[in-house]
Structure 1
Amino acid sequence: MAGEMSILGSTILALFLAGYLGQQYLPPPKPRVVGLDLGTTFCSVAVFHPGIGEVEVIGDEQGRKSIPSVVSFTSKGIHVGYEGQDLSHSNPLSTIYDAKRFIGKVFDPEVLEQEAARYQFKVLSNNGSAEFLVATNHTFTVSPEFIGSRLLLKMKEMAERHLGVPIEKAVISVPAEFDERQRSYTIRAANLAGLHILRVINEPTAAAMAYGLHKVDVSNVLVVDLGGGTLDVSLLNKQGGMFLTRAMAGNSKLGGQDFSQRLLQHVIERIRQQYGVPPTHKEDVHLLRQTVEAAKLNLTTQRSVILRTPLHLETGDALHPARPVVFEALLTRELFEELNHDLFQKILVPVETVLAEGGLSREEVDEIVLVGGSTRIPRIRQIISDYFGKDPNTSVDPDLAVVTGVAIQAGIMGGSWPLQVSAIEIPNRHLRKTNFS
């Protein structure tokens, strides 16, 4: 009997030793579950690597960590991401963006008409659901979930190319205010792309996980998500290992695009004052818009930038109808902040609303988490910091916070993350988002 116990003990020891040596010297298995952030403006895909215990955000062919949420249809095919964005001005009627705003929603005719007026492409109603009219060699309609599926397929292919293994399973994020129908249609989009969704996670919860708040002693977390086109503020309460969304508010028509537009209008007025006419050529306006956007991004890290762009101005002269000029202007951070002063202050409106609805004072917020590229703007960070009397948490890239958290959840679902640090969302079916748009 003693001999049998000795053999059993030796066998168990050998198995433990083999497992230890395997962990130390054998390459870790490739992740098979990806995390997906299907954003309104940009999309990202990431994986959790169990071997090194880190999240990797996967880039496209050029190494860019996110792709525009744009799909363009031409007679040559379907162009996704940056390819679609490049066609947005030459093919505006068949280039679809912001599809996430429409997915799974049922609209009253008047509301859909108001929403459709914001876009160059045609938005139609199919029993209250939105569809987009596309014209290539023939005219047809596509659904928001089909647009989403093309974006998800692109990210699936990015992950497969990078990891070298087929990807069939994923975790995906959605806004906290998405109802069951919107979540279902998001899953449908993933299914069309050949993906099986293991879990749907709220974007604020994903962001909180990216910042590691599921592993520390915090109770109340405020998530400010300010992207290219929308502002979402969520108040989370962590109870043990679970997050409860206590209140939500936002502005569906406030974001980085609005800040860029204010700067663009200012630049166009300066051109008119200097040359007597504003730019009217489509190519000039497109180039000017790109230059202004780049200037806005540079003003995040620099106090001033020189904007320089060639233009072909209509002079009204029959002999010389297009006057080539090179416009130059000094743009400062102070000017940018002055142009957008009223828009920046609007950020505090939903912040105050979620605190009131959540029954908290600003002093009771343990962590302020920033999500979305527009939260990089120094003045916006200062406004939030002044309001709460402490700095927001800036330890994570705000553009990639959501996809990082989703990848952590994907690691949990794939069995490669210690389950004791996971965070489970408490469903709150009665919660409604207050919108100030």
Structure 2
Amino acid sequence: MAGEMSMIGSVILALFLAGYLGQQYLPPPKPKVIGLDLGTTFCSVAVFHPGTGDVEVIADKEGRKSIPSAVSFTPSEVLVGHEGQNLADTNPQNTIYDAKRFIGKIFQPDLLEQESARYPFKVINNNGSAEFLVTTNQTFTVTPEFIGSRLLLKMKKMAERHLGVSIQKAVISVPADFDERQRNYTVRAANLAGLEVLRVINEPTAAAMAYGLHKADVFNVLVVDLGGGTLDVSLLNKQGGMFLTRAMAGNNKLGGQDFSQRLLQYTMERVQQQYGTPPTLKEDIHRLRQAVEAAKLNLTLQSSAHLRVPLLLELQGPAKDPLPVMFQAVVTRQLFEELNADLFRKILAPVETVLAEGQLGKEEVDEIVLVGGSTRIPRIRRLISEYFGKEPNTSVDPDLAVVTGVAIQAGIMGGSWPLQVTGLDCRQASLAPGLFHYRAMLLKYSDVLCSQTMVFRSVPEPMQ
């Protein structure tokens, strides 16, 4: 028995030594499994780099680390991401966004009609499934998973361009409340983009991974995910290294778009008061929308933001030409908070719901994790901290928390250094006492992996 243990120890030591020497003298292999966050409003892609243990969120050619979840169809091309979003006001009937709300879902006719009423593009019912009607040179329909596939294909190409290798495999995140059909249709979207999905991981679990909540002293974790179009709140329990979803609630009609819309409506009223006519041209509304969105982002850091937007107003009367004006206004953070006060208060409703369903007092929550760009809004952070009596965890970029966690999972599925050693008991690293420097690097993520192995195995496998 002692001889067998000695042999096992020698093998383990040899593995660590080989890894250490390989890291020192061989270039690390390129990651070939990408992590994908296909969000309702924005999506992003990241990789786990072998050897260094770093997660890199991949940017587009302009350096932007997330792309809008929008696809616009024109007579000559299909534009995806920022290019597609830029046509949202000038080509509204053929620019599809929020497709994630419809993917894999079966609708009653009246519910689908109610859902589609909020969009400028046409949503039709195909035996309970939603499809989008597009008219360019011809009229045709596209499915939500096709829209998702165009976004995933763009991110796949971004990763290939950045890494210089072909990518065929991925890990993808989905909301915790997605049922099996919605998960399978998300996988189908990835397959249409030429990707094999190795694992589907819940977004709250991915976020918890990104925040490093594998630590033993964290038990109850509340994840507040407020993006551009939806609010999702999840209560997680960490039990024996496994994150379990204890309760979840949300509001699929509340997000950053709604906050921007309130400010846009206010701005349009100001234009009418100042010039006697509201902005009606699509180009004017598009410019105002862009200015309002930029102001909203600035107000997360500053107490006021200045709007300066050139407009071409259509005046009343048949003989009058459009009037070019330069609309200017100052928007304060206080005004923004007053315009959205009732919407901000709605954020606490699902928080109270998950605590009640989880039979947990708010003082028993160990960690509050913020996910989604809208959680940057100072008033929202104050609401949450005042409710719980402590500050939420803001150590990770909320826009990129989910994709960071998904990339760690992708590293595991790809067998990347230093993750490939997790088939061993991580505590056996102590058998290599002479390699403390390498061991420290190795364990940068091995605590996550040792404690999270069950998490990854417990994520529902997609049906192929």
Calculate the TM-score normalised by the size of structure 1: 0.92
1:274 is displaced (CA, Å) by: 1.8
- Structural mapping, 1:202-217, within 5 Å: 202-217=202-217
Give the residue type in structure 2 aligned to 1:167: I
Counterpart amino acid of 1:249? Answer: A
Deviation, 1:13, is: 9.0
Q: Structure 2: which amino acid aligns with 1:144?
A: P
Task: Give the deviation of 1:11 after TM superposition.
Answer: 12
Kept in 2, the 8 Å contact 1:229–1:253? The answer is yes
Q: Which amino acid aligns with 2:52?
A: I
Cα displacement (A) at 1:90:
2.5
Do 1:236 and 1:245's aligned partners in 2 also have CA atoms closer than 8 Å?
yes
> Residue 322 of structure 1 aligns to which amino acid in structure 2?
P
1:311 aligns with 2:311: yes
Query: What is the identity, as a one-letter code, of the residue corresponding to 1:350?
Result: P
Tell me the CA shift for residue 16 of structure 1: 6.7
The reply to whether residue 160 of structure 1 matches residue 160 of structure 2 is yes
Instruction: After TM superposition, give the deviation of residue 423 of structure 1 in Å.
Output: 5.0
Q: Name 1:117's counterpart in structure 2.
A: 117
Task: Report the equivalent of 2:271.
Answer: 271
Report the counterpart of residue 191 of structure 2 in structure 1.
Answer: 191
The equivalences for 1:13-412 within 5 A come to 19-412=19-412
Separation in structure 1 between the aligned mates of residue 275 and residue 70 of structure 2, nearest angstrom: 35
Is the 8 Å Cα contact of residues 89 and 285 (structure 2) preserved in structure 1? no
Deviation at 1:88, TM superposition (A): 1.9
**TM-score for both structures, normalised by structure 2:** 0.87
State whether residues 409 and 422 of structure 1, in contact with CA within 8 Å, keep that contact through their aligned partners in structure 2.
no
The DSSP-based 3-state class of the residue aligned with 2:40 is coil
Aligned counterparts of 1:424 and 1:144: Cα–Cα separation in 2 = 32
Indicate the structure with greater helix content: 2
Gaps of 5+ in 1: 1-9, 430-437
Rounded to whole Å, the distance in 1 between the matches of 2:12 and 2:453 is 33
The answer for the alignment partner of 2:452 in structure 1 is 422
Deviates more, 1:170-179 or 1:26-35: 26-35
Answer yes or no: is the 8 Å Cα contact 1:131–1:141 preserved in 2: yes
The gaps in structure 2 that reach 5 residues or longer are: 1-9, 420-445
Deviations 1:47-95 (A, max 9, x none): 0112211100001111210111111122212211112112222222221
Q: Secondary structure at the match of 1:293?
A: helix
Provide Cα deviations, 1:338-359, integer angstroms capped at 9, x if missing partner.
1111111110000000000000
C-alpha change, 1:273 and 1:137, in structure 2 (3 Å) is closer
Instruction: Report SS of the residue matched to 1:422.
Output: helix
Partner of 1:283: helix, strand, or coil?
helix
Matched with 2:439 is none
Q: Distance in 1 between matches of 2:227 and 2:73?
A: 25
For residue 61 of structure 2, give the secondary structure of its aligned residue in structure 1.
coil
Contact 1:243–1:423 (Cα < 8 Å) also in 2:
no
Q: Deviations over 1:290-343 (max 9, x none)?
A: 111111110110011111111222332544332221111111111111111111
Give the conservation status (yes or no) of the 8 Å contact 1:268–1:278.
Answer: yes
Report the counterpart of residue 434 of structure 1 in structure 2.
none
Give the aligned partner of residue 427 of structure 2: none
Please give the root-mean-square deviation of Cα atoms over the aligned residues, in Å: 2.0
Letter paired with 2:341: H
- Percent identical pairs in the alignment equals 77
Query: Distance in 2 between the 1:34 and 1:428 partners?
Result: 17
Separation in 2, partners of 1:13, 1:315: 81
Residues 228, 257 of structure 1: 8 Å contact kept: yes
- Distance change (3 Å), C-alpha of 1:307 and 1:103: same
Which stretch shows the higher mean deviation, 397-406 or 88-97? 88-97
| Code of the aligned partner of 1:228 | G
Q: Which amino acid aligns with 1:45?
A: V
By how many angstroms is 1:137 displaced? Answer: 2.0
| Shift in alpha-carbon separation, 1:207–1:14, aligned structure 2, 3 A | closer
SS in 2 for 1:380: helix
Letter in 1 for 2:332: T
User: In terms of mean alpha carbon deviation, does 157-166 or 89-98 score higher?
Assistant: 89-98
> How far is 1:36 from its partner?
0.4
**Which amino acid letter does the alignment assign opposite residue 377 of structure 2?**
I
Q: Deviations over 1:117-152 (max 9, x none)?
A: 111111111110111111222211111111111111
Shift of residue 173, structure 1, vs aligned partner: 0.2
Q: What's the secondary structure of 1:183's corresponding residue?
A: helix
Q: Distance in 2 between matches of 1:397 and 1:250?
A: 21
Range 38-47 or range 315-324, more displaced: 315-324
**Structure 2 letter corresponding to 1:353:** T
* Shift, 1:411, TM fit: 1.0
**1:323–1:365: structure 2 CA closer, same or farther, 3 Å change rule?**
same
Rounded Cα–Cα distance in structure 2 between residues aligned with 1:92 and 1:263: 20
Q: 1: CA distance between counterparts of 2:335 and 2:454?
A: 44
Asked if the contact 1:245/1:428 (under 8 Å) is kept, the reply is no
Give the counterpart letter for 1:232 in structure 2: D
Aligned AA (1:400): L
Equivalent residue letter for 1:101? R
Assess, with a 3 A threshold, how the Cα gap between structure 1 residues 16 and 334 changes in structure 2: closer, same or farther.
closer
Q: CA deviation at 1:400?
A: 0.3
Q: Secondary structure at the match of 2:403?
A: helix
Distance 1:266-1:19 versus aligned 2 partners, 3 A rule = closer
Per-residue deviation, 1:99: 0.7
Distance 1:13 1:341, change over 3 A: closer
Relative distance call for 1:12 and 1:290 in structure 2 (3 A) is closer
| SS of aligned partner of 2:245 | strand
Considering fraction of residues, name the structure with more strand. 1
Q: Distance in 1 between matches of 2:307 and 2:415?
A: 50
